[in-house]
Amino acid sequence: MKLPRRAIFILVLFVIVGVTAFAFQRRFRYMNPEEDAPIPENPTERTEFVFARLQYPQINIGGSLGAPGKLVPPTIPKRTASS
Amino acid sequence: MGLKRLSRLHVRSMEEVVSLDDDRIFDYPWVYAVEVGHWELDDSQAARLREYLLRGGFLMVDDFHGSQDWQIFAEGIAKVFPDRPIVDIPDADAINHAVFDIEDRFQIPGIQFLYTGRESEYDGYDPHWRGVYDDKGRMMVAICHNSDLGDAWEHADEPQYPEKWTSRAYRMTLNYIVYAMTH
């Protein structure tokens, strides 16, 4: 079957636009700057007060493959109590 | 880090992360928990949190929004204190006057406001400032429902995040800390 010239033109145009659009896609960036927050200098210095953030198991709403929730709350800095 | 910079509290620049399964929680008089609309405490963790609070500990919970988050949080706190009600904190309560006199309490949205334009999340349109008290009237749990003070602290230097929310969040938190240390 021979495609009409107009159909070929539309198809080629569609491919060019599609490829161009994909080529210039930027990586999706969720605004979550705390993920990259630097650890402050001297984070274990001796001070009068030290406060704590509670780590607790998370409920599994909707389920992720039926796995029980056991996640650190998402805005916790990348550092554990033992470090 | 914000407390260290913006207040005269001699406080470490970074908090410790503690688990309810860890006895070290008793080393910390003031504990913050975020997004407690997702927590799920088992019986031993609830008992541990009850012991911590009755022995003088203080818990601030924050950044949970709407009726579903509230239901999940309330189920957890009911495990901790089946016999104690969650009550609205009266304007005249000492916690609202420990350092700053704060009576006109308003909603403090999280950073999501900058990209959604919405001050509330889910159906959490109205802020609720609630607490759980011990037998002597000391507040043990300060509950910030439908607000996100943690984001307001964290984004204090974000030019687009309104200053009024950050400054209010720090003032409220300083009240909560000083109250906890003096009651």
Digit-coded pLDDT (tens) for A42-67: 888 999 999 999 999 888 765 444 44
pLDDT of residue B168: 97
Residue-level pLDDT, tens digit, chain B, 183 residues: 788 889 999 999 888 999 999 999 999 999 999 999 999 999 999 999 999 999 999 999 999 999 999 999 999 999 999 999 999 999 999 999 999 999 899 999 999 999 899 999 999 999 999 999 999 999 999 999 999 999 999 999 999 999 999 999 999 999 999 999 999
Q: Do B32 and A53 touch (CB under 8 A)?
A: yes
pLDDT of residue A31: 55
User: Contacts of residue B42 in chain A, CB cutoff 8 Å?
Assistant: 57
Return the residue in B1, B11, B15, B72 with the most chain A beta carbons within 10 A, the one to mutate for interface testing.
Answer: B15
Beta-strand pair B128-133/B58-64 = unpaired
What 3-state DSSP class applies to A64?
strand
Sign (positive or negative) of CA dihedral B112, B89, B103, B177: negative
Q: Do B28 and A47 touch (CB under 8 A)?
A: no
Chain A contact for B42, CB < 8 A?
A: yes
Angstroms from B104 CA to nearest CA on chain A: 27
pLDDT of residue A32: 58
Q: Which residues of A30-64 are buried (b: 16+ CB within 10 A; e: fewer)?
A: eeeeeeeeeeeeeeeeeeeebbbbbbbbbbbeeee
pLDDT of residue B25: 95
Q: Which two tokens stand for residue B26?
A: 């008793």
For residue A28, pLDDT over 80 is answered with: no
Q: Do B39 and A53 touch (CB under 8 A)?
A: no
Angstroms from A63 CA to nearest CA on chain B: 13
For residue A68, pLDDT over 80 is answered with: no
Percent pLDDT > 90 in chain A is 24
Angstroms from A73 CA to nearest CA on chain B: 7
